[in-house]
Structure formats: C-alpha cells, structure tokens
C-alpha cells in the first residue's frame, strides 16, 4: 500500500513539474533509486542536485535555483531530484556518475548527461545549465 501511494505521489509530482504553469515555486523530489529510475524512464530532462544541509555552496545554489524557477515558469518543466549527500555519498550512484562532492548539479535526459556544474553558484552558469534542457 505504501509503495503504491508513493508511486502515485511521485507520478503526480512529475506531472505537475512537467507543466510549466502548474508550479510557481522551486521544489524538489527526494532521491531514491526508484525515483531516479522513474525520472530516467520518462526520457524528459531533470536536474539531480547533490546537496548537504550543512553546505553553504549548496544553499547558494538553492537560492539561485529558487530565483530561476520562481522567475521564469519555463524552468518548472525540469524536475529536481535532491540527493542527500550525507546519506548517499558512498553509494553506487555517486561512484558510477563520478560525483566529486556535494554541491554538484547534473542535468540529465533519460540516462544521458546533458551537463554538470561542481560548486558553481553563479546565476548565469546555473541558468545556462538548465537552458540545455529547453
């Protein structure tokens, strides 16, 4: 039952994020291997944010993402999956994707990487990354 509810909630979240006018604020989906697999299966672009709550660079990136998502609804078509660095830093995801540290943003489409930024907080750089998906 819990798995069914979780899948339904995830499906609704991806549908809402895929509709530019449906969401006016920045938000993210918490990472799990299932969430990633479902995002990849859509074949649509999505952003993976390797984040730590204690990381000032991560917070700076989040402020930029919030500003971009709230400032232009076109970015709402790009769901964000947040990977908790403290939980997943030793995972196969981090190893297989060659993630060097927290504050790494990876733009994906299906299983293909479109681009990445590591510890970059410049609004123009983060915007340019997201624009690769549009």
If you search the block for the tokens 């006016």, which residue do you land on?
A: 24
Question: Residues 49-85: pLDDT tens digits?
Answer: 999 999 999 999 999 999 999 999 999 999 999 999 9
From the list 67, 73, 44, the residue with the least C-alpha distance to 126 is: 67
- Per-residue pLDDT tens digits for 2-56: 454 445 445 545 554 444 444 458 999 999 999 999 999 999 999 999 999 999 9
Backbone angles phi, psi at 69, to 5 degrees: -65, -35
Alpha carbons 104 and 2: distance in angstroms, whole number: 31
């Amino acid at each position: 039952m819990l798995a069914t509810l979780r899948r339904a909630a995830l499906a609704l979240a991806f549908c809402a994020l895929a509709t530019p006018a449906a969401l006016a604020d920045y938000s993210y989906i918490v990472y799990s291997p299932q969430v990633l697999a479902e995002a990849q299966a859509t074949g649509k672009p999505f952003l993976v944010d390797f984040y730590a709550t204690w990381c000032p660079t991560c917070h700076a990136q989040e402020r930029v993402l919030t500003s971009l998502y709230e400032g232009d609804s076109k970015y709402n078509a790009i769901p964000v999956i947040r990977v908790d660095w403290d939980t997943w830093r030793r995972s196969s995801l981090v190893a297989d994707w060659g993630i060097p540290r927290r504050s790494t943003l990876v733009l994906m489409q299906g299983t293909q990487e479109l681009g990445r930024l590591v510890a970059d907080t410049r609004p123009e750089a983060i915007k340019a990354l997201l624009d690769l998906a549009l």
